[in-house]
Structure 1
Amino acid sequence: MDPAMGLGPDVPALARELTRRADPLRLRRDVEFLADRPRTRRGAPEAMLRAETHVTRELAAAGWWTERQPFEVRWRPGCTDRPGVPLSPLRVRLHRRLAGTNLLAGLPGADGRPTVLVGAHLDTVEGSPGADDNASGIAALLEIARLLGGLPRPPAVALMCFDMEELGFIGARVAARALRRERRVTGMICLESVGCFTTEPGTQLLPPGFGAVFPGVAAAVRADGLRGDFTLVVHRRSSDAAALLWGRAAGAAEPPMPAVTLCDPRPDGPLGALAGLAVPPVNHLGRSDHAAFWNAGIPAVMLTATANFRNPRYHRPTDIPDTLDYRRLTAVAVATAVTAALWRPAS
């Protein structure tokens, strides 16, 4: 029994076991395959289909079934997938019509139980091969599939590759609404740009106004010399158990992965989305697909290496596989696999 979590399996022991089975070379191969070209549904549809085929093949080899879920939306607010700062007003768009595809995966024998969803987006911005953003997240997801597929009893976990994140979380918004109606998913873990790490001091930036809103977290990052050697775990009160679980599992991985946990003070649901208008720095905490699940009232966590606040190659042609740290990326995958298998959100 793990006394800190009240869970049957020992969290560090499971993390150590999965670490022995994980392979950084597999993650590197996945990133290299995906990040050899940009992937966008509108601008590079062949690359998206090629990436889908790779993901489906790797999931099947790990024992997972995969379902393509096409969608079409009209007159949806979002942003452009041209390179740029995500929150820039210049990127705001009203999309007249978009057609994309999410990929949903599950394990045979895991049906009928409340499910934790692990997700990552498959697309990139135009002109970037997207090794960190977000081939790193997809590679971690595939390694999670291999690790969880080898457990004696299938865990209540589903996986999803989202389309059109770079257009404003379009695929995730479609999925979150559908999953809320079906009441199949009780919690969500988002892997967003999780492969860039550095121990050099001064490499970790903080958003403007961040220190005033989150003084404790800002002070801790500054006290460590502004080193970009940690994973940021963004959660809300509804998902604080997952953040704690992830930190414990990450500490037992190899190499141990420092976790900086950050609680978004907003409530889940539409009110939380509106609250960001009053406190702009908190909007940075909703810059990926997990925000769609928060807005749908589903507890969610985002794991990130902080994207453009650490990675100078963010949304650029230079976001290539050789710039990632695959041992640390593997530790992220292990900790996430443990968390997904053991987290039991309140339904």
Structure 2
Amino acid sequence: MSGAFATADVAGLVRELGARADPARLRCDVEFLAEGPRSRTRAPEAMRRAEAYAARELAAAGWRTERQPFDVRCRLGSTDRRGHQALPLEFRLHRRLAGANLLARLPGAPCRGTVVVGAHLDTVEASPGADDNASGVAALLEAARLLAGLPQPPPVTLAVLDMEELGLIGARYAARRLRRGRRAVGMICLESVGFFTDEPGSQLMPLGFEAAFPDVAAEVRAGGLRGDFTLVVHRRATDAAARLWCLAAGAGRTPLACVTLRDPRPLGPLGALAGVVVPPLAHLDRSDHAAFWNVGIPALMLTSTANFRNSHYHQPTDTPDTLDYPRLAAVAAATAATAVFWPRSVRAR
């Protein structure tokens, strides 16, 4: 699609996809993936089992899946040890890491001009990671099933990413490969997208957030600090894509509230540097979309805000029974529609 998207077309597609999105199927995906921790370094058998499951489900939906192994040395990353608080500044030098991403496309879909939909498969130690991030992988698998039913294969690449908890290692590898030849025009990151609560006061905000983003903070406060929305984090290059996702989210069978947050930084290394020196901005880099930003690929992060809402974050209690599957199905449908209608006027800036 070129230029502006048509509201009626988006709403029509979301209604079609939403009617097929299955909360029960999403729950099955999450329950399989979140039987226990999964990690190349801490729980390798569980990680292999989860990867094989994702590959089978993608193949069953008609996607051609390529396993892209990587073996990297002396990479600065982060720790994946258990803890309720986020650990964005606990840097660690990894001497060697060997993992693999899964990338999938529909037969006949073009490779160039693709929109990447990504979610990380790994967890921290001791957590089964139902929300972080079986919810994101399940939404990706459901989007795969929905997109496979369209008359024409859309230019979408699905990416099941490895070692996010170790410092976006798999995403950094994938982003560099997709940047070559300008094959990717955008990326949608599904990060902890399944936990919602209508309880007033349940939504927290990071230290310094209200000063850095007063309009967003005011919107959240006006909603009674309820954790009932999806946060859409974007940059100037993806203003239109963020609006598109919110339009799609509101048009489905289970309408989703969303709050958009525009990161003021530019794409590329300068934006990454600013995140290190300005703490409120560092929270916006806490998933795989940041690896795409850093190589100049426009991206969105969709999230239910992890530890700022979910008390089970990085804990053994992050289990499948804590998630909201009708809303997760709505996330999947809105994401699939956004990938199809991604504004083709978007360019790296």
Instruction: Tell me, yes or no, whether TM beats 0.5.
Output: yes
Would the aligned equivalents of 1:105 and 1:159 in 2 still touch at CA under 8 Å?
yes
The CA distance in 1 between the partners of 2:194 and 2:182, in whole Å, is 32
The CA distance in 2 between the partners of 1:318 and 1:311, in whole Å, is 10
- For residue 186 of structure 2, give the secondary structure of its aligned residue in structure 1: strand
Give CA deviations for 1:107-141 in whole Å, capped at 9, x if unaligned. Answer: 00002441000000000001000000000000000
Would the aligned equivalents of 2:205 and 2:308 in 1 still touch at CA under 8 Å?
yes
The CA distance in 1 between the partners of 2:286 and 2:231, in whole Å, is 13
- For residue 97 of structure 1, give the secondary structure of its aligned residue in structure 2: strand
The CA distance in 1 between the partners of 2:218 and 2:11, in whole Å, is 28
Which residue of structure 2 aligns with residue 314 of structure 1? 313
The CA distance in 2 between the partners of 1:218 and 1:234, in whole Å, is 14
User: Map of 1:144-183 to 2, 5 A cutoff?
Assistant: 144-183=143-182
The CA distance in 2 between the partners of 1:284 and 1:160, in whole Å, is 22
- For residue 173 of structure 1, give the secondary structure of its aligned residue in structure 2: helix
The CA distance in 2 between the partners of 1:100 and 1:256, in whole Å, is 37
Q: Which amino acid aligns with 2:86?
A: P
Q: 1:112 to 1:75 in 2, by over 3 A?
A: closer
Which residue of structure 2 aligns with residue 332 of structure 1? 331
Which residue of structure 2 aligns with residue 205 of structure 1? 204
Which structure 1 residue ranges, 5 or more long, are not aligned? none
Which residue of structure 2 aligns with residue 240 of structure 1? 239
Q: Following TM superposition, by how much is the alpha carbon of 1:9 offset from its aligned partner in structure 2, in angstroms?
A: 6.6
User: Map of 1:128-277 to 2, 5 A cutoff?
Assistant: 128-277=127-276
* More off after superposition, 107-116 vs 120-129: 107-116
Would the aligned equivalents of 1:5 and 1:245 in 2 still touch at CA under 8 Å?
no
Which residue of structure 2 aligns with residue 287 of structure 1? 286
Which structure 2 residue ranges, 5 or more long, are not aligned? none
Would the aligned equivalents of 2:86 and 2:307 in 1 still touch at CA under 8 Å?
no
Which residue of structure 1 aligns with residue 87 of structure 2? 87
Would the aligned equivalents of 2:77 and 2:167 in 1 still touch at CA under 8 Å?
yes
Q: Following TM superposition, by how much is the alpha carbon of 1:282 offset from its aligned partner in structure 2, in angstroms?
A: 1.0
Would the aligned equivalents of 2:17 and 2:146 in 1 still touch at CA under 8 Å?
yes
Q: Following TM superposition, by how much is the alpha carbon of 1:88 offset from its aligned partner in structure 2, in angstroms?
A: 5.3
Q: Following TM superposition, by how much is the alpha carbon of 1:5 offset from its aligned partner in structure 2, in angstroms?
A: 3.5
- For residue 10 of structure 1, give the secondary structure of its aligned residue in structure 2: helix
Which residue of structure 2 aligns with residue 108 of structure 1? 107
Give CA deviations for 1:43-78 in whole Å, capped at 9, x if unaligned. Answer: 111111101111111111111011110001111101
Q: 1:9 to 1:62 in 2, by over 3 A?
A: farther
| Percent of residue pairs identical | 70
- For residue 168 of structure 1, give the secondary structure of its aligned residue in structure 2: coil
The CA distance in 2 between the partners of 1:274 and 1:229, in whole Å, is 32
Which residue of structure 1 aligns with residue 64 of structure 2? 65
* More off after superposition, 52-61 vs 303-312: 52-61
The CA distance in 1 between the partners of 2:197 and 2:121, in whole Å, is 24
Q: 1:331 to 1:285 in 2, by over 3 A?
A: same
The CA distance in 1 between the partners of 2:88 and 2:282, in whole Å, is 12
Q: Following TM superposition, by how much is the alpha carbon of 1:240 offset from its aligned partner in structure 2, in angstroms?
A: 1.0
* More off after superposition, 154-163 vs 277-286: 277-286
Q: Following TM superposition, by how much is the alpha carbon of 1:87 offset from its aligned partner in structure 2, in angstroms?
A: 3.2
Give CA deviations for 1:213-252 in whole Å, capped at 9, x if unaligned. Answer: 0000001101111000000000001111110000000001
Q: Which amino acid aligns with 2:328?
A: L
User: Map of 1:14-33 to 2, 5 A cutoff?
Assistant: 14-33=13-32
Query: Superposition RMSD on alpha carbons, in Å?
Result: 1.6
* More off after superposition, 268-277 vs 184-193: 268-277
Give CA deviations for 1:301-344 in whole Å, capped at 9, x if unaligned. Answer: 00000000000000000000000000000000010000001103
TM-score normalized by the length of structure 2: 0.96
- Number of residue pairs aligned between Structure 1 and Structure 2: 345
Which residue of structure 1 aligns with residue 75 of structure 2? 76
Q: 1:9 to 1:111 in 2, by over 3 A?
A: farther
Q: 1:6 to 1:337 in 2, by over 3 A?
A: closer
The CA distance in 1 between the partners of 2:206 and 2:65, in whole Å, is 38
Q: Following TM superposition, by how much is the alpha carbon of 1:23 offset from its aligned partner in structure 2, in angstroms?
A: 0.5
- For residue 313 of structure 2, give the secondary structure of its aligned residue in structure 1: coil
Q: 1:277 to 1:92 in 2, by over 3 A?
A: closer
The CA distance in 2 between the partners of 1:68 and 1:266, in whole Å, is 33
The CA distance in 2 between the partners of 1:136 and 1:260, in whole Å, is 19
TM-score normalized by the length of structure 1: 0.97
Give CA deviations for 1:138-164 in whole Å, capped at 9, x if unaligned. Answer: 000000000000000000001001100
Q: Following TM superposition, by how much is the alpha carbon of 1:6 offset from its aligned partner in structure 2, in angstroms?
A: 3.6
Q: 1:88 to 1:54 in 2, by over 3 A?
A: closer
The CA distance in 1 between the partners of 2:5 and 2:13, in whole Å, is 15
* More off after superposition, 293-302 vs 53-62: 53-62
Which residue of structure 2 aligns with residue 54 of structure 1? 53
Q: 1:88 to 1:238 in 2, by over 3 A?
A: closer
Give CA deviations for 1:160-217 in whole Å, capped at 9, x if unaligned. Answer: 0110000000000011111112321110000000000000001000000000000000
Q: 1:155 to 1:8 in 2, by over 3 A?
A: farther
Which residue of structure 2 aligns with residue 341 of structure 1? 340
Would the aligned equivalents of 1:196 and 1:323 in 2 still touch at CA under 8 Å?
yes
